[in-house]
Amino acid sequence: MFRESVPIAYDAPADLKKWPSLRNERVANRTPYLVYNGTLADCIRLLLAKPIKQISLYDIVTERQAAFDSNTLSPGDAAEIAMRKDFPKA
């Protein structure tokens, strides 16, 4: 979850990680692996470009910011952040 009124550093370093899966569901006793390392904005764009059936298998890990409750963002958080007016479109 994030706070809408607090600025977000979209150029902060971030990792897009994917959980190992079985029948399109996360395998809980496994560790997610790195798919992409770049900026928070890039990771959000890449995550939202994934097929909708697979999007729940991903997380974005970034440095802690005042706007975030955690340093791990869920796909739902990423989608909401992408809709912010200040999100860099390209």
Mean pLDDT by 10 residues, the chain (90 residues): 82 97 91 97 97 95 92 94 90
- The answer to whether position 45 is within a domain reads yes
- Specify the pLDDT at position 5: 82
- The answer to whether position 59 is within a domain reads yes
**What's the distance, CA 39 to chain centroid?**
11
Q: Which domain holds residue 55?
A: 13-82
Closest by CA to 8, choosing from 78, 67, 48, 53, is 67
- Specify the pLDDT at position 1: 58
Biggest CA pair distance of the chain: 38
- Specify the pLDDT at position 86: 93
pTM: 0.91
Domain count for the chain: 1
